[in-house]
């Protein structure tokens, strides 16, 4: 029996299209980039083969660079010693690395990638913090997440919430920090669409899935939250340390915005 509440709408792009759906690597699809960050979010270096080059955009057969999307900023780092400005999604399954210059690179050659770990680890801590906060706000108020921006230094979450009560929101933040001290595990796994559909409340999510998606990537904070999600997270909540609320803003009718950081 699953007793966790399921947060249905977490990441939304600027267009309002939910970013929740992810598929595991598929065999034999040549254009897809294998997402090494799904297999090990702590891998900081990797080897790959260049699949295509378009100007300064380089697509590899596999990558540890988590691309920009769904409110998360991209990783940075280097490929063959050349600066990676950002990684972006191309089409359904590919990830392109935007390089300072791709002049020295050739399709088919091997390449070594290095992730800027200090930035990436903060993104992971911020991202898991955002899931935890949204789970607690949702549990306490029923609020849904209408937008978010996860960045290394400061992040924000938008809630659809009628009340604008700073004191209460500070209490929810304290509850999040209490959860962090208990250090529950954060697990990621894939779930068949049919199985996911049986989790109470997930139907709404399923209804926005493209029809060809067979599997969802689930991120579970044990005892607190279960979400379909394609991003990078820490292994357990203790790694976050502490969430510091920075500012609460009233963004009209029923939209509340919270800024937070982690020391």
Residue numbers of the site for Zn ion (CB under 5 A)?
A: 229, 231
**Could you tell me the smallest distance in angstroms from the CB atom of residue 228 to Zn ion?**
9
**Could you tell me the smallest distance in angstroms from the CB atom of residue 232 to Zn ion?**
9
Nearer to Zn ion, 58 or 147 (CB): 147
The answer to whether the CB of 168 falls within 8 A of the CB of 139 is no
If residue 188 lies in a helix (H) or strand (E), which one and from where to where? strand 186-192
**Could you tell me the smallest distance in angstroms from the CB atom of residue 196 to Zn ion?**
16
Nearer to Zn ion, 220 or 229 (CB): 229
Checking DSSP bridges between strand 62-63 and strand 34-35, what pairing results, if any? parallel
Nearer to Zn ion, 79 or 120 (CB): 120
- The pairs formed by 12-19 with CB atoms below 8 angstroms and a separation of 24 or more are 12/70, 12/71, 12/145, 12/146, 12/147, 12/148, 13/69, 13/70, 13/71, 18/205, 18/208, 19/69, 19/70, 19/71, 19/230
Cβ-closest position to Zn ion: 229
**Could you tell me the smallest distance in angstroms from the CB atom of residue 224 to Zn ion?**
14
Nearer to Zn ion, 51 or 220 (CB): 220
**Could you tell me the smallest distance in angstroms from the CB atom of residue 155 to Zn ion?**
11
Q: Which of 253, 31, 63 is nearest to 159 (CA)?
A: 253
Residue 248 burial (CB < 10 Å; 0-12/13-18/19+)? middle
**Could you tell me the smallest distance in angstroms from the CB atom of residue 131 to Zn ion?**
6
Nearer to Zn ion, 10 or 172 (CB): 10
**Could you tell me the smallest distance in angstroms from the CB atom of residue 143 to Zn ion?**
16
Q: What is the DSSP letter of 143?
A: P
Nearer to Zn ion, 98 or 157 (CB): 157
Nearer to Zn ion, 147 or 231 (CB): 231
- The Cα–Cα gap between 163 and 144 comes to 13
**Concatenated DSSP letters for 54-122?**
ETTEEEESEE-PPPSBTTBPPP-EEETTEEEEEEEEETTTEEEEEES--TT--TT-EEEEEE-HHHHHH
């Amino acid at each position: 029996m699953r007793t966790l509440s399921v947060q249905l709408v977490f990441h939304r792009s600027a267009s309002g299209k939910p970013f929740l759906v992810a598929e595991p690597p598929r065999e034999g699809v040549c254009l897809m980039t294998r997402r090494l960050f799904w297999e090990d979010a702590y891998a900081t270096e990797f080897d790959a083969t260049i699949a295509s080059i378009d100007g300064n955009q380089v697509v590899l057969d596999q990558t540890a660079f988590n691309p920009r999307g769904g409110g998360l900023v991209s990783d940075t780092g280097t490929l063959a010693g050349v600066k990676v400005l950002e990684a972006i999604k191309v089409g359904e399954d590919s990830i392109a690395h935007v390089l300072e210059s791709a002049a020295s690179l050739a399709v088919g050659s091997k390449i070594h990638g290095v992730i800027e770990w200090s930035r990436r680890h903060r993104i992971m801590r911020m991202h898991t913090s955002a899931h935890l906060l949204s789970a607690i706000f949702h549990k306490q108020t029923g609020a849904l997440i209408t937008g978010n921006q996860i960045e290394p230094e400061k992040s924000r979450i938008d809630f659809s919430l009628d009340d604008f009560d700073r004191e209460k929101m500070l209490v929810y933040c304290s509850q999040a920090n209490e959860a962090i001290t208990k250090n529950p595990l954060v697990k990621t796994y894939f779930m068949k669409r049919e199985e996911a559909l049986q989790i109470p409340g997930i139907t709404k999510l399923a209804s926005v899935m493209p029809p060809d998606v067979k599997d969802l990537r689930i991120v579970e904070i044990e005892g607190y939250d279960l979400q379909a999600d394609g991003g990078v997270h820490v292994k357990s909540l203790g790694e976050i340390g502490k969430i510091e609320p920075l500012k609460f803003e009233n963004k009209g009718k029923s939209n509340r915005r919270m800024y937070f950081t982690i020391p």
